[in-house]
Amino acid sequence: MNKTQLRKNFETGNFQIGASGLKQFLWYYTDIFLFRSRLIPFGSVLVAVLRIFGAKVGREVRIKPGIAIKYPWKLEVGDHCWLAECIIDNLDWVRMGANCCVSQQAMLITGNHNYKKSTFDLITRPIVLEDGVWIGARATVGPGVIAGSHAILTLGSTISHSMESYSIYKGSPAIRISDRELA
């Protein structure tokens, strides 16, 4: 398939960037120089920049330098969240409730391709992390996942289906291994 056909298939899908070309251009360089470069060590500055680009970010959110966010205008983060050096590849919405943690090198990926079609169409679905969810280091969350309140995805696990509230998931593919009990 040539580049013209690929672009046509991409453009006729339901995917929409949701921002002007200028905003995309400005975000691209802001992301490289301020976020991924780790030049700005202060999370409060990074939060302010995300808000300028349209992210909805709650109170007392901690963002670590080195984070990669595809489209901040498709990001909602509740109060008291912690986002480490993770990857948020949000072709679709990523919504986090309060008190969530996304650990080092974790990935939230909202897009995939339909391998059942010869055109390999892009598929996007939002990710929702309800209050108190913890995504462990190097864990991967796929498109369409809803992580119920206070669910945990452990270190290095991969999930492509929704997670029950107050449950712990482990493995690749991740399975529910136990209840999460809070003191």
Length of the chain: 183
Model confidence band, residue 14 (pLDDT cutoffs 50, 70, 90): low
Domains of the chain by range and CATH?
20-173 (2.160.10.10)
Three-class secondary structure of residue 3 per DSSP: helix
Model confidence band, residue 40 (pLDDT cutoffs 50, 70, 90): confident
pLDDT in tens, 132-146: 999 999 999 999 999
- Phi and psi at 70, nearest 5°, equal -65, -60
pLDDT over 50 (residue 5): no
How far apart CA 107 and CA 26 sit, in angstroms, is 23
Give me the residue label for tokens 């996942």.
Answer: 145
Q: What is the largest CA-CA distance in the chain?
A: 57
